[in-house]
Structure 1
Amino acid sequence: MSNLQLSGTAGVLTVSTDGTQRDLTGPEKAAVMMLALGDRHGGPIWRSLDEIEIKHLSLAMSKLGPITPQMLDDLLVEFVTKVSSSGALMGNFDTTERLLLSVLPSDKVNSIMEEIRGPAGRNMWEKLSNVQENVLANYLKNEYPQTVAVVLSKIKSDHAARVLAILPEEFALEVVNRMLKMESVQKDVLDKVEQTLRIEFMSNLTNTQRRDAHEIMAEIFNNFDRTTEARFITQLEEENRDAADRIKALMFTFDDLGKLDSAAIQTLLRGVEKDKLGLALKGAKESVRELFFSNMSARASALLKEDMEQLGPVRLRDVDEAQSYMINIAKDLAAKGEIMISKNKGEDELVL
């Protein structure tokens, strides 16, 4: 639960309600955040807490009293600012290990850290068997053939075969010869190889896969309705303009669908419910509407326009939900490789 306490129990958030000052402690901040997230988005967090943490959080939540929109806004802006500010919140292996050592036995901590530093597996060789072959081959090609022979002799044979097939042919043949001549490997040699892999390969592999906090926050902002999104962006711009700009650059909005090519639009249309499409386009820019209309048959386009006219005035919330639905469909298609999404920021092209 400490991750939810923002600035911790030592720091408080001073807000004003009915003319009086009120301070929120770390657990109270966590309680407000969990209430704001609700059961849908907060469920995974609740499931990760132990019984004592749940009791502490529930107690703080039950005693919160009224939380005004301004209080919630201030808290979320503080949270985003803390996460986005360099050095304000820093989660890495070292800080995690130090925290765990303060509450758990060292052997338990070592076991936990070994698990989270790399791919799943009970030991180093099982972990290596879960690393993509091209990633492992790219690392091993710079090692001594004898070292590579030791590594490949310890991982699963099917995985070793795929790695060997990727390695440069002459180098791979040398590794095969070393494996054929290799006798039993002494324990101290194996230990040294394991240590080197853990320090030089596994930790770097995990570091490269770590997600940027701004990317996570951009996904959260993508799930806001446009009114809430505008409110937080405006306040964040006042507190931390750099962070706000980075988040906006990473966000994928409905307008970005207007940058899809014709093939992608047609693929998207096949996966979208017609009533959702009409509702989403009802609140879209004219250029985005025309892009979708132009990639439909004349009859289908005419029917859709007629349906949109019959809708009459619609609630902004309903439009936001329909557009979020289409954005999620587009992201799912991109993840499957069926379409390509581009933000057109400079020369960068992103497949989400």
Structure 2
Amino acid sequence: MTFSTLKPDASLRKAAVLMRSLDADAVAALLARLSPAEAKAVRLAVRELDEVSEEDRALVAADLRRAASPAGPDAVLAPVHRSPPAASSPLAGLNHAPPEAIASFLKIEQPTTVAVVLSRLAPSRAGEVLGHLPEELQASAVDRLAELGEIDPESLNVIADELHAWITKHAQESRRKQDRRETLAAILQASPPALRRRLAGSLGEEEQHGPLTHLDGPPQPAPVRQPSPAPSRPPAPRLPFSAIESLPAARLVEVIQGVDHQTLVLALLGASGSLMARLRSLATRKQMRQLEQSITRVGPVRLRDIEQAKLRLAESAARVLLGKEAA
């Protein structure tokens, strides 16, 4: 007996068993293919489902094999009556947006908001976006996705407006960066070889692996820099950067306030997901979005500048813990 010949209740239960048997990515992809009415019915069945036995899983697998026909997998959920085609979702255009741009917006959103956006994307694009999110947010979003109910159209429009504005800014910033790189490449290409090599050696890693890689001449070794003179006073104490994320909330706030905004932005480039999660729990949504935007907009930067910023943040942490005033 296939799903298509069962009563609706039995069919929904088997669909729920199937959902319980799949991994998170497969669940997200399958739910994204369903109409709102189907998805709601299946999510309700999943919530009401008791423990799933191996016998249940085997029966579902057998029915799926028998259902493999020209009718396709849609026959599995045939008893769930499809709603009339809904109006085009305000998030439909996001299927053509870069997944990393969508993810950069969702990283500081609540799991429910992430689930709403993923449910409106094509399965392949939803999976790509999910892969760009922090692991803890991935798990929470998939949980919400399995329980997602009907979405208020007004709330959906608000999310869509904010996300489209973010994508537009991301695209504009990407174009500006590309234009700057191309202009810089053209200037260096027209420069004398000696000057070109000297200037190219001082560029950030991003430019050295970008449009400047076509410049002629073999790569030059990095100049040997003489060590800086010994400081006239003892170096400022500092903590290992990795220890900062484990500081108590009040101390972490003091540490952040002990450095300027640019230093904080550079220090957080490539920061761990756990540190960013701590900051999200301490900052307002507006503050965190501004910080994320600043990090996203960072242009060419030298590795030593990033390391110097991390050292300053670590020194700020040491001053806080030792009760010293910031220098």
Superposition TM-score, scaled by structure 2 size: 0.30
